[in-house]
Amino acid sequence: MEKNKKVLVIGGGIIGLSCAYFLQKEGYEVTVLDKSNIDSGASFVNAGYLTPSHIVPLASPGMISKGIRYMFNSSSPFYMKPRLDLEFLKWSWYFKKSSTKAKVEKAMPIIRDINLFSKELYEGIKSSGDLGEFQLENKGLLMVYQTEKERDHEMEVAKKASELGLEVYHLDKEGLRKAEPQIEFNAKGAIHYFCDWHTTPGQFMEFMMGHLLKKGVKINRNEAVVDIETNGDRLLRVVTDQSSYQADEVILAAGSWTSQLAKSLGLKLPMQAGKGYRINVEAPTNISTPAILLEAKMAVTPMHGFTRFAGTMEFSGINNTIRKERVAAIAAGAERFYQGLKISEEDKSKAQCGLRPVTPDGLPYIGKTSKFDNLTIATGHAMMGWSLGPATGKLVTEIISGKNPSMDLEAFHPQRSF
């Protein structure tokens, strides 16, 4: 490694900050750029899960037909807004091609491995004391069901997870009561994935930024990239609306905006923004264990100082429009499962959304392209961005350092075919 090698990270979400964390540990001089104030978006509104149990990619059999079925219902859990957009139509075709049983079977162990690797790195960050005392708890994840149909479907996933070596149990109604003794569920039971952990995203992001600044990483907020100058197979200069930067290595980790920046470089990264919503409830709920409410297709997480109710996957392009009917659907779903729970109008009015970058096959893009020697792509993590932040940061650092990566990166290649 060249001494004081300069690395520019475009994107200050969990992926970008995780890259900065491991790069500065290797002795690189790191600058992070973000067009926002780094206090909102997908890295702040997610469910906070570290999820080895989420072994099935979004692109799985039946999802396209679900999307078509839900297309004209804007409060549905999986909403694809009808629109004549060539990029969206291409992505939808690739998504359909990726949604086969064989491709899903091939993806599952890869998803498990990168999630377990990332969980170990989260534990390493915690034990290092670098960030101070942030929430990182291992209470597992309850997949709570109200119908036999959802139970049977989740039992199939649980069987595969168990075969892949993950710790999973089936809880009947009494078992669910023991797992959450202070809660009365309107449910028949749950699958308990004990391998999962949870955090409070905003807390972790704040602590991570504080640590990086202390270590000399520059974090430049509210600065948008307007041009990237190239010469042959090198990126020469990154121009923003405020300044310009030269770096030995550039990492493109701008989440849902990465495709636009890649396009300006002549690179195709098929990706769509999948909008998710969250409601925070500060009043006590007695909820102590994270849960996915299967029929409602939503997540519940006890966080540091509040309970988060999150969910939905909305494909409606890059925008931060909050659809009130989708927020209402999350609140109603939670109230159907937790007896006595009432989410106030005030809590609903403070709902926020974030855009998750979704690839056609549900696997992220991590690696270099054949076009530029000093560019590394790190994006496309869909609903697993929070879970996979540290793993991606570590892998990117290994790529830039020329070390053997901790995982085979072939499945994540930015130029893979669909």
Contact 314, 81 (CB under 8 A): yes
Question: Which pair of structure tokens corresponds to residue 377?
Answer: 């792509």
The pTM is what? 0.95
Q: What is the pLDDT of residues 252-277, one digit of tens each?
A: 999 999 999 999 999 999 999 999 99
Q: What is the pLDDT of residues 304-325, one digit of tens each?
A: 999 999 998 888 899 999 999 9
Contact 271, 256 (CB under 8 A): yes
Q: How would you class 357 by CB atoms within 10 Å of its CB: exposed for 0-12, middle for 13-18, buried for 19 or more?
A: buried
What pLDDT score was predicted for residue 83?
77
- pLDDT at residue 2 is higher than 60: no
Least confident of 69-78, 202-211, 217-226: 69-78
What pLDDT score was predicted for residue 218?
98
- Angstrom distance (rounded) from CA 335 to CA 327: 13
Nearest by Cα to 119 from 156, 166, 60: 166
Beta bridge partners of 366: 378
Q: What is the pLDDT of residues 128-137, one digit of tens each?
A: 999 999 999 9
Q: What is the pLDDT of residues 26-62, one digit of tens each?
A: 999 999 999 999 999 999 999 999 999 888 887 778 7
- Angstrom distance (rounded) from CA 178 to CA 170: 13
- pLDDT at residue 3 is higher than 60: no
What pLDDT score was predicted for residue 1?
47
Mean pLDDT within 138-143:
96
Question: Percent of the chain, pLDDT > 90?
Answer: 87
Give phi and psi for 377, each to the nearest 5. -95, 140
Residue 231's identity, in one-letter code, is N
- Angstrom distance (rounded) from CA 110 to CA 128: 27
Give phi and psi for 77, each to the nearest 5. -65, -30
Question: Which pair of structure tokens corresponds to residue 118?
Answer: 């990332």
Top-ranked range on mean pLDDT: pick from 65-74, 240-249, 310-319: 240-249
Q: Helix (H, G, I), strand (E, B), or coil: what is residue 69? A: helix
- Long-range contacts for 297-302 (Cβ within 8 Å, ≥24 apart)? 297/77, 297/78, 297/333, 298/77, 298/330, 298/333, 298/334, 299/47, 299/49, 300/47, 300/334, 301/47, 301/48, 301/49, 301/198, 302/198
Q: Write out the E strands in 194-334.
A: 197-199, 218-220, 225-231, 234-240, 244-245, 249-252, 272-281, 291-293, 298-303, 306-315
- Angstrom distance (rounded) from CA 120 to CA 353: 28
Nearest by Cα to 49 from 136, 143, 120: 136
Mean pLDDT within 316-336:
94
What pLDDT score was predicted for residue 65?
66
Contact 279, 347 (CB under 8 A): yes
Q: Write out the E strands in 172-224.
A: 189-193, 197-199, 218-220
Question: Which pair of structure tokens corresponds to residue 298?
Answer: 């939503």
Residue 223's identity, in one-letter code, is E
Sign of the Cα torsion 339, 344, 345, 351 reads negative
At residue 163's C-alpha, the angle toward residues 55 and 110, to 5°, is 35
At residue 88's C-alpha, the angle toward residues 13 and 395, to 5°, is 35
Average pLDDT score over the chain? 94
- pLDDT at residue 405 is higher than 60: yes
Domains assigned to the chain: 6-412 (3.50.50.60)
- pLDDT at residue 388 is higher than 60: yes
- pLDDT at residue 84 is higher than 90: no
DSSP of 242-274, one letter per residue?
A: S-EE--SEEEE--GGGHHHHHHHTT-----EEE
- pLDDT at residue 79 is higher than 80: no
Q: Which comes out higher in pLDDT, residue 79 or 241?
A: 241
- pLDDT at residue 327 is higher than 70: yes
Q: What is the DSSP letter of 338?
A: B
What pLDDT score was predicted for residue 66?
66
- pLDDT at residue 352 is higher than 50: yes
Residue 202's identity, in one-letter code, is G
Q: What is the pLDDT of residues 86-122, one digit of tens each?
A: 998 899 899 999 999 999 999 999 999 999 999 999 9
Q: What is the pLDDT of residues 147-175, one digit of tens each?
A: 999 999 999 999 999 999 999 999 999 99
Question: Percent of the chain, pLDDT > 70?
Answer: 96
Question: Which pair of structure tokens corresponds to residue 70?
Answer: 């839900």
Question: Which pair of structure tokens corresponds to residue 317?
Answer: 């392009």
- Angstrom distance (rounded) from CA 367 to CA 375: 8
